[in-house]
Amino acid sequence: MRELGSSDDEIYGSSAHSDYGMVTLLATDGVCREKFKQPRVWEDVLHVDGALIVNIGDIMERWTNCLFRSTLHRVMLSGKERYSAAFFLDPNPDCMVECLESCCSESSPPRFPPIRGGDYLQERLRLTYAS
């Protein structure tokens, strides 16, 4: 594991982020288990031939009332050519995303308001690319 520093020596193919949808399948890179903890501690995910990483996305975090947390990850440039393909599984735009009944209770009420999948994605993209 390594602590995320403020070094200008590190160049990212994609900086720290979580994916917006339900599940993402991708080739190996580093992940951070505790995305809200500071300083962030990154864990290298070793390459295993034929294996994929399964990242939980933000929609799954909303559905499960944070029981399953979305995975903070980034793409580090290694100085050598690499291929990366990701598969993003997202809900239909009209799907209502709200806390699953089995993931909330009186002592653990829903943390997020209901939202349609398409509206959620549009809002996240707007916030990401507004500038």
pLDDT band at 11 (very low <50, low <70, confident <90, very high): low
- pLDDT at res. 31: 64
Going from N- to C-terminal start, the domains of the chain cover 2-129
Query: Phi first, then psi: what are they for 72, rounded to 5°?
Result: -80, 125
CB atoms near residue 99 (< 10 Å): 20
Q: What is the pLDDT of residues 33-62, one digit of tens each?
A: 677 778 877 777 777 777 788 889 999 999
- pLDDT at res. 3: 43
CATH architecture of the region 2-129: Sandwich (2.60)
CB 22 within 8 A of CB 35: no
Q: Is the peptide bond before 39 cis (omega within 30 degrees of 0)?
A: yes
- pLDDT at res. 74: 76
Termini Cα distance of the chain? 33
Cα 3 to Cα 32: distance, rounded to the nearest angstrom: 10
Cα 28 to Cα 12: distance, rounded to the nearest angstrom: 15
